[in-house]
Homo-oligomer: A and B are copies of this chain.
Amino acid sequence: MGITERREREKEEIRRKILDAARELFMTEGYDKVTMRRVAEAIEYSPTTIYHHFEDKDDLVEALCHEDFAKLLAALDPALLPTDPIERLRMLGLAYARFALANPNQYRFMFLTPREEHPHPEDSPGYQSFGVVRQMVADAKAAGRLRDDDVDAMAQTLWACVHGAVCLVTTFRPEQFPCVPPAADLIERTVDASIRGLLKE
């Protein structure tokens, strides 16, 4: 009775094809250019077929996004970071920014698009990514290196700062807005300043 299993495998296969085609369009041309019709054309099916695998366009991009949160979580793997708590935080910030700059369209959808209908459950990669930050802030705090007691608030502050630098760099081209410096420079400066602002004494 391997028939239904084969069916499921085939269904999964085309779901995979849809996701891959959508991601290709999404990465290279951005959200607006991911139209159901273009995705369908890319996989050589009719647009209606996509609706058998995803509820609507939002659901499709949401699925993409879910995969990307997993990638982000992997990119923040604590095992890859130094042991000194502060240096660790610094490298975490840079790794986060590296992910964002490498996947600007995804980042935009993940962190810059209001997604009221899709909250992050506690065991989701998105939630866990924040957990990594919080844990490292907690470690730095435990090592007596931070000035404040509110670990959550400090983690959010760091996140906000790096997020801001990433947003500026990915939104504006250097020549467009007043004197935006080389991307890497602004990000490094922002990570440094925000961490320093939380240090004890």
CA–CA, A177 and B119, complex, Å: 7
> Are A112 and B112 within 8 A (Cβ)?
yes
* Most interface-central of A115, A164, A196 (chain B CB within 10 A): A164
* Most interface-central of A177, A178, A197 (chain B CB within 10 A): A178
CA–CA, A197 and B160, complex, Å: 14
Stoichiometry (number of copies)? 2
Tally of contact residues, A, Cβ under 8 A = 49
Which among B153, B154, B157, B193 is the interface contact of A157 at CB below 8 angstroms? Answer: B193
CB distance from A15 to the nearest CB of B (A): 26
CA–CA, A173 and B165, complex, Å: 21
In the complex, whether A45 has a CB less than 8 A from a CB of chain B is no
Which among B159, B162, B168, B198 is the interface contact of A159 at CB below 8 angstroms? Answer: B168
Sample of 9 more A-B contacts, CB < 8 Å, known A126-B177, A134-B178: A130-B177, A130-B179, A157-B186, A160-B164, A160-B165, A160-B167, A160-B190, A164-B165, A193-B194
